[in-house]
Structures are given as C-alpha cells and as structure tokens.
Amino acid sequence: MSNMHQRITRRDLLKRSAAATAPLFIPASVLGRGGQKPPSERITVGIIGVGFQARGHLNLLIRHPDTKVLAVCDVDTNRRENAKHIAEEWYSADTSIGTYKGCAAYRDFRELIARPDIDAVLIGTPDHWHCIPAVEAVKAGKDVYCEKPLSLTIAEAKLMMDAVRKYNRVFQTGSQQRSDREFRVACEAVR
C-alpha cells in the first residue's frame, strides 16, 4: 500500500494536529522565537542583601535579557519588600518573559539558597556578612557574585576559595570603579 493510501488512526491525527497547532498556543518566549530568549537560556538569580549597591544590580539584572531575578532576601522588611516590588513591577510589564510567577522575598538567606530553580546568587550584604551566605550558596550548587570587599579576614577568603574549588562553582567579586580614571588619579595623588 502506498503512503498516500495509508490509513491514519485517530491517535495519529491527534498527534499531528497537536504538533501543528502547538506554536499557536505556546508563547514565543518559551520557544525562543522572535529574538526572545527561551527560559532555559536565562540565568535565574537570587539576591541576598538588597541595600543601595545591590538595588543597583537588581535594576541591571531585571533589564538584562539573559537573567531573571526570582527571589530577594534581606533582614530589613522595607528593603526586602521594595526590591520585590521593583522586580515584580518590571517583569509583570515585560511580555517577552512569558508567564511570570512573581518574585519571592525572604528574610532568611537559607530559604533562597535552597531553591532548586535559582542558578546564581548575588551577595550584597554588609561586608561582615559575605562569607557564610557565599559558602552556603556554593555548597548548594549556586554560582556567586559577591560585592567587595570579598571578606574581612584571610581565613574567610580561604573558606570561600576552598568551597568554590571543592564544589566547582563560578565566583566573582565586584570591583566596579577600580579602573576608573578618577580613582587612579586619586591613588597617584596619595602616593
């Protein structure tokens, strides 16, 4: 029997119909059409400590097509809720990201780190509180961006370095402005 006369079962018809019409119902962002990033190519981020410096990072991250902020954490209720509001307001207006489930807000950083859907953690806590969340994030399989200074002691820095090596994670320390002309001129003036 030739292929033209092959009998099509109801199951085959349903499969073919579903495959043919799926692009009409699945958002372009899920498929990565129209220049939009599919969710599988976005880095999902949680931010621990959302004071002045980290809020600046939050505003950059929510606007970047390769990242999506899923959660924020701060012991200060006002900062935490403000950061959550900023993320939710931006993402709810951005139709390119598909379905948005909201930005979670935590008081305890361990809850944020425990989320399996977060790829990377930005640590913007006060200087004396970088080591513990950084090490715990790395242990949980998260990559980390940590504000400067990395640590207050050499021992803390070694703990972080050892964890990054042991768990094979990416770790970056923020060093914005270190190469700006104004800072170099100031350093030369002091020397």
87 within a domain of the structure (yes/no): yes
Cis peptide before 23 (omega within 30 of 0): no
Mean pLDDT, the chain, rounded, equals 81
Position 55 confidence tier, pLDDT thresholds 50, 70, 90: confident
pTM (two decimals):
0.73
- Give the model's pLDDT for residue 114: 97
pLDDT of residue 36: 56
Would you state the pLDDT for residue 11?
62
Report pLDDT for 42.
84
Q: Which residue has the higher pLDDT, 26 or 79?
A: 79
pLDDT reported for residue 177: 66
Task: Provide the CATH number for the domain around residue 165.
Answer: 3.40.50.720
The answer to whether position 32 is within a domain reads no
pLDDT over 50 at 25, yes or no: no
For the chain, give the longest Cα–Cα distance: 91
Q: Is residue 91 part of a domain?
A: yes
Confidence check: pLDDT of 95 > 70: no
Could you tell me the strand order of the sheet in which 171-173 lies? 104-106, 67-73, 43-48, 120-123, 143-146, 171-173
The length of the chain is 191
Domain that holds residue 132: 45-190
With respect to residue 2, please indicate whether it lies within any of the assigned structural domains: no
Q: Binning pLDDT at 50, 70 and 90, where does residue 96 land?
A: low
Cβ atoms within 10 Å, residue 138: 25
**Tens digits of per-residue pLDDT, 146-173?**
888 888 899 999 999 999 999 999 998 8
151-165 b/e (C-beta count within 10 Å ≥ 16 → b): beeeebbebbeebbe
Please report the pLDDT score of residue 22 as a whole number: 47
pLDDT at position 54: 84
pLDDT at residue 82 tops 50: yes
pLDDT(49) > 50: yes
Ramachandran quadrant class, 173 (left: phi over 0; alpha: psi -120 to 50; beta: rest): beta
Asked if residue 24 is part of any domain, the answer here is no
- The answer to whether position 94 is within a domain reads yes
Whether 130 has a pLDDT exceeding 80, the answer reads: yes
Flag whether 16 is in a domain. Answer: no
Contact (CB, 8 A) for 187 and 159? no
| Count: domains in the chain | 1
Q: Are 77 and 102 in contact (CB under 8 A)?
A: no
In the chain, the percentage of residues whose pLDDT exceeds 90 is 42
Q: Is residue 28 part of a domain?
A: no
pLDDT for 33: 47
